[in-house]
A and B are shown apart, each in its own frame.
Chain A
Amino acid sequence: MKNNILKLVKALLVVLLLSSCEDFLDLKPLDQVVSSNFYQTEEDALQALVAVYDVLTYQSTPGVSWAPFLTMSDILSDDAYAGGADANDGMDENEFNTFNIPTTSLIAHSIWIKNYIGIYRANLYLEIIDDIDASNDFKSRTIAEVKFLRAYFYFEQVRFFENIPLLTATIKGPSEYKQEQNTPQEVYNQIAFDLVQAISDLPESVPIAQAGRITKWAAQALLARVFLFYNGVYNADLNAGGTSVNQAYVLTQLEDLITNSGHDLFENYQDNFKLVGEFGIESVFEISHGDTPPWWDWGYPRGGNGNLAAQMQGPRVTGSQKWNRGWSFATVNHKLALDLAGDPRFQYTILTEEELDGTLVKGYQHTGYYSKKYSSDAEHWGSGGQFELNRTCNFRVIRFSDVLLMAAELGSANAQQYLDRVRDRVGLTSVPATPENIYRERRLELSLEGIRYFDVLRKGLTYANQQLTHSFRGPNYVGDQEIFEVTFNMDTKGFLPIPQTEIDLSAGTFIQNDGY
């Protein structure tokens, strides 16, 4: 008996201590896929690609701040004020509005984080695609898409922050965390290089169901936008891996786009901001938003796909059948209303308080004007989820009218015709295609679309100071005059501060931008 028990004990110890230990402890996730085993098939690659596209819709960083590109660049511009419920509600936004941006700005940090997520996922895609079992066509097209997206994220980042680290590969571990800022030239050249390569490999058209995926034309148009900004601010051409990207090069791309893409203007200007115009003929590059999956999680809005800018910019009105329950951020500057006075596009650009049904709560920096292009209008209410998180309007990043105006500005032989096309569509008569008229047309055609601020900056700091220092409170304003007074801060050249957290985490390698 005792011997048997001893044997049993011995056996137990042997079993427990020596054998099957590793198997018992080597537990892998049950309901998740381990990253190192993931990237195998074309389908896996497609999911990795979608993860890069996903970042296009990020308008907030959970735990940091909401920061839709559209809203924030318009608040920086002379198109819009900060707004919000009251001075406290819009405090962070108002720092942008008044160019009094602390280095700890959560909005600036949110933008910074978002773009590097996009860049990381793009770099990761370019690293894993080699070993994927997929056709060459698939690989070359998706690589081109990812390069476009990487260029897009870098462009947004460098346009806002100017001095940023340039990473074209993922960081492999803590030893690589420390990076230095590159020169704007290096970053812009990489953007140009990615776009030039993307142009040669991207398709000219995509099947209807794939609408929303990047085409060659989108890359050409983005390259032109990059060139105009870089050339305007730094007065230099771009070098795309040996190819000089200059005015002629860019113009050739735009003429190709205008002639061969099939893109055209909508008959009705306002269709650009309606459901019927989504992925339409005028849209050269568009970021999609929607209510699938219906989203509820306030803590993680980016898990859904709603357009947060539309929620922020909507009028603060209840009981309305037409516009509902926005937060009245980015109230429209009276200056824009004055410029648009008499223009047929006024009524499709600016929502006036007189048009509203329901009960309006007038918030901070109330001017009586809201954006009508991206707003909480009935057509774009989501059909499920928390309504604030499910606004469905797509963001038209580059419209064909912008392409025509860029080509005209770059000195196209058809400049007059291009300008006329844009004006004629809204019933305006021809004006001479002078640089001033072309530039003025951009202001009227493209206002409240996240374009104005950078158009102003690229005209030089003197011009920026003239335009961005303003005090137009409008006829229906509420509040003291001083809350409508904005002075541009020339010391910053219009760039945002490098987020303080990132400077702290860089162990002294990051240098803060001028003026902060």
Chain B
Amino acid sequence: MRVNLQRLLITILMLGYSGCLFAQTHTITGKVTDSETGLGIPGATILEQGTTNGTSSNLDGNYSITVSNPNARLEVSFVGYKTTIVDVNNQNVIDIILIFQTTELEELVVIGYGVQKKKVVTGAIASVSADEISATPILRIDQAMQGRTPGVLVTNLSGQPGEAPTVRIRGAGTTGNSDPLYIVDGMAVGGIDYLNPGDIESIDVLKDAASAAIYGARAANGVVLITTKGAKKGEMNVTYSGYHGIQNVSKTIDMLNADQYKMIWNEARRNSNLSETFDLDEIPKHDTNWQEHLFQKNAPITNHELSVTGGNDKSTYASSMSYFTQQGIIGGDKSQFDRITGRLNSRHEVNSNFRFGSNLAYSHIIRRGIASNQSFNGAYSSALNLDPLTPLYEEDEYELSNDPYASEPVVTSPDGKVYGISKIVGAEIVNPLALLQIQNAQTRVDKVVGNIFGEVEIIEDLKFNTSLGLDMAYVINDSHRPLFYLNGAQLNIEKTSVSKVIDRYYTWQWENTIAYSKIIEDHNFSLLLGTTASKFNFENLYGFNTKVPTTDPNHVYLNMATDTLWEARGGASHAALLSTFGRLTYDYKSKYSFTGIIRRDGSSKFGPNNRYGIFPSLGVSWVISDEDFMPNIDPINFLKFRASWGVNGNQEIGDYQFISVMDYSRGYIFAGGRMIGASPAYIENADIHWEESEQIDIAFDIGAYNNRLTATIDFYNKTTKGLLERIPIPAHVGNDPPYANVGSVRNRGIEMSFNWRHYIEGVKYSIGINGAYNKNKMIVIGNEDGVLPGATWAVAGMVTRTELGLPIAYFWGYKTDGIFQSQAEIFQHIGSTGKVLQPNAKPGDVRFVDVNNDGVINEDDRTMIGNPTPEWTFGMNGSIEYKQFDFSMLLIGTYGNDIFNGSQRQDLYYTNRTTAILDRWTVEEPSNKTPRVTWYDVNNNHRISDLYIEDGSFVRIKNVQFGYTLPENLQKRLKAKTLRFYVSAENLFTITKYTGADPEIGAMSSFDIAIDRGIYPQARTFRLGTTMTF
């Protein structure tokens, strides 16, 4: 948030003293201009030094001031420029040239329960401003952090509209929920997809423990503070902005065509001593490119928003409405996100010591989604694995008169065509268009988030603030299962069914703070004391029945169901948090700063044994460049050292985990009917407590070339202890394990950001580069084998693990060492005991490594074969403005991460393959990378090994935007204050070695990262948009 504090203060001073003019002794006129552009600067402050006498320049930069004597001195200042002092020296005309300097240090940073001048901030806080948000039209507010905030890894979960990206601040700090805490206008909220990006004034990410400590038991994964736009005093502004865009797939994968597929099929059978079933000379009846049919062309994306701001001295208001709709590139309206928002923010100053205001937002969201990264039920997964011989539509009369078309409820398209069913590929691989056709699930959300607050200045500099907020949502989930027959394994041929779930979430929060600040000469003190009470309530209702005599998804309600199989369920839960906190900040001349925070949280998530936690932090900073003894090292003009230490908590587990509850899902059918049984749901552990994350941050902030160049370098070491996990326990205990505080994880890293801003000859440009390195390592796992189970892929079982000494969710499998080229090589592959390690292998099979060197290759040889989490993440943004034109660009990237490419179902021998299989090992053309094809895979070539692992590093041009603002005279003629048009492109191109559709794969859970099961890729989008203010 940039607030021109100085200007505000001066304006207030001027207002107070404007009546007390001295005798007119000397009048000066002149013009204030920019040193580089030569253009006049409106609104610059001209002050007679040592007095409160001052004025400001007009629209063209001209001013006039009357001073008390001809030898007075003028102090001329304007935000963004270096303050200049000139001696009047009896002159009557003084033109003043101001030198531009980025005054980042005067900017205010939101720090939680207040703002602080950037110069005295002791913690690591990364900010994104409204300008930056609007430079990249984003769909969700969390995407605004992508590439702009070093140390904040934002990974889109997939390309499906409306899906929440994975946000990790300084690495995965826990094996549980690693999402940061989101605070919107002071209110802790459950999710931020309800926000219209256009409403956001700023995003401030509290990265280090010391900054986040003010949020105590919920802050261990970092805190994201979001401030919505308020209004400034003045005339009414009406702004419309909107865009329309088209989205297309940016990369499809080369799959075998029908001829190639048949050739590989025959060869695989030949290698298995089976007959070759295809006649390669026969021209195939169909050669279906499933991806071509699957991806929508020019899927639309549209946004309209209208905001009205304004106000007078007493009251200001900022009100907005928006409508956003996006169709997916897979499934079109089956994968669609619609959002309507309305917002009213207002502030009222009743008198000089009492003001109040409110923020109120309503959102309506409709979300239709398909499985976006699933081996089972994933449309893209099917498109990549289904054979090209199957037609999109079966139109052959003979086929249609036979099974299954004749006897089963096969799926038809809206225009009545029958979707083809493969005769050779089965299991979970189905016609992807037919699969999309039967998807009918829809989620609708009505959400209100708001707060009302009041502030009283009790005595001078002592302010009491109270704020009451609420976050309420109704979420309705509808689903309808029609009759369908996709293949012999994926079918619902008996009964249609319908279900509805209504969830109600309701959280209130009441906060009270007292803030006192005092300036004694050069010493600035401020003290904040506060309390927070909040309560979360959840309730739901579920209904289900079968036999719905309609196929129109818009007509499917529970009342339509005709069966007697009614099912209903409903439940509720609640949680509460009660906290007190205090913060003391002190600085001397802004040179030495100190911040101390202590917070005590009481949480209903923990039992009486461990209900309260205390979270302290300390931070110091020292502006070395303000020291007199500091020599002037050109071009450095600013140097600040920061250090902080703190402890944060994480309590994100389910409610009541400290007591055991009864599970009534047990039952047994006796002759008289089913009786309900009950037993404890899990073993009790009354001693659980929050996870504790301790972090040290050491940093330098640097300014050079008149602060045109600013740089920040942070080093951190963050250790989270007492990870809450349902850790595997011996099965003879006989019940599910309880949550226990069982592990520690360490994240260490470096973050760097460099920003350059400059005006030169009418060109205003900026370049920002940031990079972050993070190393993640489990340092304690509290069970006997030191292992936490991880994610599974297809039917292969576990492919990730979390293990002592290794990063969270590393890829786990066999190591390979090329391909056996001959029988002799197979016999030479001997283990430590002298036995042939893979006696059943044949030339062309994969050579596996006996990692533990025990003379056999078995499960114990599985090892770390990849790391899904990037070592380096980086972002680069640049912008240029020249006259009416502006251009901006955002580039993001990762380095050092691996992807598990499971988009191919290699465990099913009959599925289609990428054209990479054409380089397989054959006698004629040996390969050392791709094994031979066979249906009788005695060597188990396709077991989970490093052959599935690919380098996931990438660089992506996330956004390019080109804008044009109408010249002022034209704007004036149109009665507009600003009128700008732009074109932009997202995901324009990506440089990566990864062969799958999209290297950006978010975390499905803490243990399921970067596994490509046929990821719904992100669209390449082109947009045309406008912003106009009247």
Residues of A within 8 A of B (CB): 2, 5-6, 9, 12-13, 16-17, 21, 24-36, 38, 44, 46-54, 56-57, 85-89, 102-104, 106, 109, 112-113, 116-121, 123-124, 164-165, 167, 170-171, 173-174, 177-179, 208-213, 278-279, 288-290, 292-294, 303, 305, 316, 318-319, 325, 359, 361, 384, 387, 480, 499-502, 504-507
Contacts and interface: CB of A to CB of B under 8 A. Distances in A.
B533 interface: yes
A242 B208 CA distance: 68
Interface stretch (B184-192, B568-576, B921-929, B970-978): B568-576
A84 B220 CA distance: 48
Contact of B732 (A5, A121, A165, A279): A165
B730 interface: yes
B656 interface: yes
A305 B669 contact: yes
A221 B206 CA distance: 69
Interface in B643-692: 655-656, 659-662, 664-681, 683-684
B458 A27 contact: no
Contacts of A506: 730, 784
B679 A292 contact: no
Contact of B661 (A35, A118, A288): A35
Most buried by B among A88, A171, A480: A88
A135 to B, nearest CB: 19
A179 B661 contact: no
Contact of B859 (A28, A102, A209, A293): A102
Contact of B734 (A25, A121, A210, A316): A121
Interface in B554-613: 563, 565, 567, 570-576, 578, 580, 602-604, 608, 611
Give 3 closest A-B pairs by Cβ, nearest first.
A120-B734, A209-B672, A50-B677
A307 to B, nearest CB: 11
A200 B444 CA distance: 61
Most buried by B among A21, A33, A177: A177
B495 to A, nearest CB: 7
Interface residues of B, number: 86
A319 B404 contact: yes
Given A30-B572, A85-B426, A86-B909, A120 B668 contact: no
Contacts of B403: 318-319, 359
Contact of A51 (B655, B678, B785, B795): B678
Given A30-B573, A88-B908, A305 B667 contact: yes
B546 interface: yes
A212 B512 contact: no
Interface in B841-885: 858-859
B17 interface: no
A500 B578 contact: no
Most buried by A among B404, B408, B494, B668: B668
Contacts of B603: 25
B669 A292 contact: yes
A55 to B, nearest CB: 8
A499 B858 CA distance: 15
Contacts of B660: 34-36
B726 to A, nearest CB: 12
A212 B662 contact: no
B531 A17 contact: yes
Interface of B: 273, 403-404, 407-408, 426-427, 456, 458-459, 464, 466, 488, 494-495, 512, 514, 531, 533, 535, 546, 563, 565, 567, 570-576, 578, 580, 602-604, 608, 611, 655-656, 659-662, 664-681, 683-684, 728-735, 740, 783-785, 787, 795, 797, 858-859, 907-909, 936-937
A359 B459 CA distance: 88
A319 B458 CA distance: 82
A30 B574 contact: yes
Nearest to B740: A174
A500 B859 contact: yes
B488 A361 contact: yes
Given A25-B604, A33-B662, A113-B731, A16 B671 contact: no
Given A2-B459, A33-B661, A9 B676 contact: no
B783 A505 contact: yes
B533 A209 contact: no
Contact of A21 (B578, B731, B784): B578
A51 B580 contact: no
B578 A505 contact: no
Given A25-B602, A50-B675, A5 B464 contact: yes
B670 A9 contact: no
B512 A17 contact: no
Contacts of A165: 732
Given A2-B458, A54-B666, A88 B907 contact: yes
A321 to B, nearest CB: 11
Contacts of B572: 30-31
Contact of B671 (A106, A171, A212): A212
Given A31-B572, A361-B488, A480-B273, A171 B668 contact: no
B669 A16 contact: no
Contact of B731 (A46, A210, A502): A502
A506 B740 CA distance: 18
26 contacts: A2-B458, A2-B459, A12-B512, A27-B604, A30-B571, A30-B572, A34-B660, A48-B678, A54-B666, A57-B668, A87-B936, A104-B859, A106-B797, A119-B732, A123-B734, A124-B679, A167-B734, A173-B683, A209-B673, A212-B668, A213-B670, A288-B669, A305-B667, A316-B488, A318-B408, A506-B730
B674 A112 contact: no
Contacts of A9: 458, 464, 512, 514
B668 A288 contact: yes
B573 A288 contact: no
A323 to B, nearest CB: 14
A102 B858 contact: yes
Contact of B666 (A50, A106, A289): A50
A174 B733 CA distance: 9
A34 B731 contact: no
A44 B676 CA distance: 10
Given A32-B662, A209-B671, A51 B733 contact: no
A43 B464 CA distance: 56
Given A12-B531, A121-B679, A361-B488, 13 more contacts: A21-B578, A25-B578, A27-B575, A35-B684, A47-B678, A51-B677, A88-B907, A88-B908, A112-B731, A173-B683, A293-B667, A293-B674, A305-B668
A119 B734 contact: yes
B641 to A, nearest CB: 37
Contacts of B563: 384
A507 B426 contact: no
B602 A505 contact: no
Most buried by A among B669, B732, B797: B732
A295 to B, nearest CB: 11
Contacts of A279: 671
A292 B670 CA distance: 11
A21 B578 CA distance: 8
B498 to A, nearest CB: 13
Contacts of A32: 571, 656, 661-662, 681
Contacts of A27: 574-576, 604, 655-656
Contacts of B735: 117, 120
A357 to B, nearest CB: 11
Contact of B676 (A6, A47, A208, A505): A47
A504 B573 CA distance: 37
Nearest to A157: B732
A48 B679 contact: yes
Contacts of B678: 33, 38, 44, 47-48, 50-51
Nearest to A207: B672
Contacts of B858: 102
A505 B784 contact: yes
A359 B665 CA distance: 37
Contacts of A51: 666, 677-679
